[in-house]
Structure 1
Amino acid sequence: MTDSILTALALICLAAALLPAVLAAVNLAVLRRPVPEADPGPVSILIPARNEAGNIEGTVRAALASTTVPVEVIVGDDHSTDATAAIVHAIDDPRLRLVAVPALPEGWTGKNHACSHMAGLARSRQLLFIDADVRLAPEAAACLAAQARRTGAALVSGVPRQRTETLGEMLTVPMIDFLLLGYLPVPLMRRLPDPSLGAACGQLILADRAAYVATGGHSAIRTSLHDGVRLPRLFRTAGYRTDLAAAASLATCRMYQGFAQAWAGFSKNAHEGMATPRALPVWTLLLGCGQVLPPLLVLLGLLGLIPATALLPAASAWALSIATRAAITLATRAPLATIPLHPATVLVALAIQWNVLLRRERAGAATWKGRSYPVSGA
């Protein structure tokens, strides 16, 4: 490459690193932990569970330990073949109900069917959907309900603090917070009704019951494997407001155990996110130039293989990239080890997305929790 081309590439990297740096700074400034209010009204905590014997007791007991707001907890046993139902049944609390989810109808995904069934049985105006591996803090339900009431949002979500205990998890899971905080303009999301600005984390979603029924809720997205994307966009399309909150202190979640499980988990809903023929090349350019190429260019510069005019913007891009990852890491209480791993984490994320996009032509189905679902084109 000529010196001018290398310099131009380094400047592109700087611009690509600047975008998430600016957005993350703004988003971290405006996203706050909600403050609970007196008498926010009861909340129904709904937990879909399929073969969750290793998680369900801790999740249920944490939900029952909610303070400030009265709660009912409904666990939907989705045809588990392990001890999930027996564990829940052994917890003696009048606020807890264990319900059997009916057989999965054709055209539904399992989680959406379980959530829809539980929502029809819930008694409260506010429905808090949590995954079976999410541990709520005592004030979490009250905080999210207060946020909904203060903002008038019909749906409020946030990303729990993600527990990552293996290298494979640290190379995959941190991209959730990085993509949300680095590429979603939260002030615009709050100001504009555009459905494309809707975002949520499927691990933790509080929905107003009336809005949920009016939009169809999970039944309206019955084929989706990515309720964190589809549900807020459904609400916004119907004219309802959605919002996000800082939730690292409201809940924790260890969503995957090890690299293989994380790869499979992120692959199952990639086709509803980045892994589309139109979106993925753009994401590859943004993430590759802003987060992966800068350290490589700096290394080449230190070896004297690129000109000084390229080294300075490349080094600036790398500094911005690491600073952005560090700020998000501290705000979300992620392990500090994820900071130096950041370029590799981005590479793994892109590899997952490209694998899903290229595999779609060969496979055409996503598998999760022992069920296979057709993958639709995009």
Structure 2
Amino acid sequence: MVYLLAALHGGMLLILLSNLVYLYRGRLRAVLNEPPTVSVLVPARNEEANLPRLLHSLLAQTYPRMEIIVYDDGSEDATPALLRAVDDPRLIALRSEGPPPGWVGKVHALYQATRRASGELYLFLDADTELHDPEALRRLVERFAALPPDSILTGLTRLRGGGKLLVSLVPCAILLGLPWPLVRRVRLKTLAALNGQCWLIRASDYHAHEPHHALPDEVLEDVEIGRYLKTKGLTPCLRDVQGDVSVYMYPRFSEAWRGFRKNAYLLMGGSPVAFAGLFAFFALAFLVAPWVSPWLLLSTYVLKATTDLYARFPVWIPLLTPLSYILGALLQVDSAVSHWTGRVAWKGRRVGS
């Protein structure tokens, strides 16, 4: 048992180190002689608390060739009024009363937004994001321009807001769960993902494959779109954009729990068999291992502390590593049971697996 757990931790350490080197090497930006036109595409449902912050940061951008398309997915709060109040020709506000049968709301919203987009590049942002300064969009485009032509940029964003003990598991999963240097080298589609909070793609590549239309009912649409586009010859490339983009995922712990409950089971495979296998891996690696050997206890702290500090969480978060993992395990079980019993809901809508 000790050797098995040591091998698991050794593998995760290698993945983490390779990803950190990969991100360091990916800091390059290209010089833009002729900046391409950019369509910023934002889905919004009941986002009155977040939209003012995002729109203020977008409208402050100095990037010369930009349009902002916000698609209101049947909001029941002040979101429509907030959009009507903005007097700027760069903003295009669209609205529907909800998705048609067979579509997830966010997927439908983004698909419809791309019908109106005219940019050469599409930047997909969640409504709870914020660009840090007026040059942030230019830096994102410069990073994208430095990538090979068959690439998609997906961002490791700065995570803010409440529920940090749970939210800190997001960069942990991104940096420990997927060896990003192998995404381009290995053809397996499972070695790919996107972070739906922030990703950038050429409009021509998007429309050649229409990922939202191809995956209309995917709740975990960003991961599945990354895998789908990889099968079409495109490569998702993770870049550290923490200096450019923040995401205010949840204001408090209770909302973080409800939000992750929607996705955790799907991230764990979305079927009872896959969930059982991945949950066993999680439990062995992070809940059992620390009790088997003091070195594995140290390794558990080192892995989580490294991802926490890289993701700029407060120092008290890695100190509470065991609590984060216990909460993560309980959340996974709650998510699985909620999906099995059909009790998953988000923003007033039932969510199915």
Could you state the TM-score of these two structures normalised by the residue count of structure 1? Answer: 0.85
Corresponding residue SS for 1:30? helix
How far 1:69 sits from its partner (Å)? 5.4
Deviation readout 1:243-287 (Å, 9 max, x if unpaired): 111122221111112222112111212343205333333333333
* Alignment-derived partner of residue 300 in structure 2: 321
* Alignment-derived partner of residue 197 in structure 1: 191
Preserved contact between residue 166 and residue 327 of structure 2 (Cα < 8 Å): yes
**Unaligned ranges ≥5, structure 2:** none
How far 1:348 sits from its partner (Å)? 1.8
Preserved contact between residue 24 and residue 181 of structure 1 (Cα < 8 Å): yes
- Residue identity matched to 1:162: L
Superposition pairs of residues 272-351 of structure 1, within 5 angstroms? 272-274=266-268, 275-297=270-292, 314-351=293-330
Superposition pairs of residues 51-90 of structure 1, within 5 angstroms? 51-68=46-63, 70-90=65-85
Name the CA distance, whole Å, in 1 between partners of 2:59 and 2:215. Answer: 29
Name the CA distance, whole Å, in 1 between partners of 2:72 and 2:237. Answer: 29
- Residue identity matched to 2:69: I
How far 1:238 sits from its partner (Å)? 1.6
Preserved contact between residue 75 and residue 98 of structure 1 (Cα < 8 Å): yes
Which stretch shows the higher mean deviation, 232-241 or 36-45?
A: 36-45
- Are 1:134 and 2:112 matched, yes or no? no
* Alignment-derived partner of residue 302 in structure 1: none
Name the CA distance, whole Å, in 2 between partners of 1:102 and 1:121. Answer: 18
How far 1:36 sits from its partner (Å)? 5.2
**Pair 262,178 (structure 1): closer, same or farther in 2 beyond 3 Å:** same
**Pair 108,176 (structure 1): closer, same or farther in 2 beyond 3 Å:** same
Q: Would you identify which runs of 4 or more consecutive aligned residues in structure 1 move more than 6 Å?
A: none
Name the CA distance, whole Å, in 2 between partners of 1:271 and 1:210. Answer: 33
Which stretch shows the higher mean deviation, 258-267 or 144-153?
A: 144-153
Preserved contact between residue 47 and residue 129 of structure 1 (Cα < 8 Å): yes
Aligned residues: 347
- Are 1:15 and 2:15 matched, yes or no? no
Deviation readout 1:210-229 (Å, 9 max, x if unpaired): 22122122121110111221
Based on CA coordinates, which of the two structures has the bigger radius of gyration? 1
- Residue identity matched to 1:72: E
* Alignment-derived partner of residue 370 in structure 1: 348
CA RMSD, 1 decimal: 2.0
* Alignment-derived partner of residue 142 in structure 2: 146
**Pair 213,67 (structure 1): closer, same or farther in 2 beyond 3 Å:** same
* Alignment-derived partner of residue 5 in structure 1: none
Identical pairs, percent: 30
Preserved contact between residue 150 and residue 233 of structure 2 (Cα < 8 Å): no
* Alignment-derived partner of residue 220 in structure 1: 214
Preserved contact between residue 184 and residue 197 of structure 1 (Cα < 8 Å): yes
Name the CA distance, whole Å, in 1 between partners of 2:75 and 2:240. Answer: 33
Preserved contact between residue 17 and residue 291 of structure 1 (Cα < 8 Å): no
Find 2:152's aligned residue among 151, 155, 166: 155
How far 1:94 sits from its partner (Å)? 1.8
Deviation readout 1:187-228 (Å, 9 max, x if unpaired): 111223321111111111212212212212212111011122
Corresponding residue SS for 1:198? coil
Find 1:188's aligned residue among 182, 186, 195: 182
Could you state the TM-score of these two structures normalised by the residue count of structure 2? Answer: 0.91
* Alignment-derived partner of residue 93 in structure 1: 88
- Are 1:246 and 2:240 matched, yes or no? yes
Name the CA distance, whole Å, in 2 between partners of 1:195 and 1:65. Answer: 38
**Pair 84,361 (structure 1): closer, same or farther in 2 beyond 3 Å:** closer
* Alignment-derived partner of residue 4 in structure 1: none
- Residue identity matched to 1:272: L
Superposition pairs of residues 250-265 of structure 1, within 5 angstroms? 250-265=244-259
How far 1:63 sits from its partner (Å)? 1.6
**Unaligned ranges ≥5, structure 1:** 1-8, 298-313
